[in-house]
Amino acid sequence: MPELPEVETIRRGLLTGDASTPPLLGQRAASVSILWERSIASPSPRELAERISGKTVRGIERRGKFLLIQLEEEFLIFHLRMSGDLSMRFLPPEQPFQPAAHDRLILTFASGWALVFNDTRKFGRAWLTMDPRSVIGSLGPEPLDEALTPEIFHAMLRVRSRQLKPLLMDQRFLAGLGNIYTDEALFCAGLHPLRLSSSLTQSEAAALLAAIRQNLLQGILEHGSSIDWVYRGGSFQNHFQVYQRSGQSCLRCGAPIQKITVGQRGTHFCPVCQPKGQQENV
């Protein structure tokens, strides 16, 4: 958390702004305040601040769970990890600078507005690089990319022999899925989280890809999921079928939702709608 829909929601909000904040596009950097140096993966905090100063924001992109802010010839890349957030905040020049709790990096613009990276748990990271591939080059395909056909997805599953839950969360296999949307997609596709990827038929793979896309698109439409203090403004949690519903009745069949641990992650599923097959590696 945040996953693809939450990161995409943040990207769109920064891109267009809203009634209370301006767009990030076109803002020219005046100064950088780094309040937690370990948030900077590379280069050094001092070099990052020097290289950003005076640069103008030319674009905002997303790749998986990463946000890429194009600053003329370089890219400022963020991974929000567990609790990171990016938002615009106005800093009145006549008032003393007062960062909020958990602010880690503040990029102040000539307009007086600032891009603020806030991260409660301090796991988020930022990179400044000429070549984004140095940071995101190992990511798998985007699940919403039309070039990812059901046939290609089936082939990707077949050449691996891994449990579905950890495989779908592996960013080298598919970029953007985390705990929430993986659990929801597997439920919609009727697939047990321990099912081996190599055992899926072509029709099952197509159903899984469709379920992934359905949940991600619905998540984006609902501005993501708000399940704790970390992420704000989303409502996809009101549509959860299994996630965080252990012990509650399945909305489809009425059986109690179960929770198990798979790859050190809590995993929610319906034992009736997602039955165990003969080819899981339990």
Active site residue 73: no
Which is the catalytic residue, given 23, 265, 271, 280?
265
Q: What is the 3-state secondary structure (H, E, C) of the chain?
A: CCCHHHHHHHHHHHHHCCCCCCCCCCCEEEEEEECCHHHEEECCHHHHHHHHCCCEEEEEEEECCEEEEEECCEEEEEECCCCEEEEEEECCCCCCCCCCCCEEEEEEECCCEEEEEEECCCCCEEEEECCCHHHHCCCCCCCCCCCCCHHHHHHHHHCCCCEHHHHHHCCCCCCCCCHHHHHHHHHHHCCCCCEEHHHCCHHHHHHHHHHHHHHHHHHHHCCCCCCCCCCCCCCHHHHCCCCCCCCCECCCCCCECEEEEECCEEEEECCCCCCCCCCECC
Q: Is 65 a catalytic residue?
A: yes
Can 3 be counted among the known catalytic residues?
yes
Is 96 one of the annotated active-site residues of the chain? Answer: no
Catalytic residue among 11, 51, 62, 65: 65
Residues acting as catalytic residues: 2-3, 65, 265
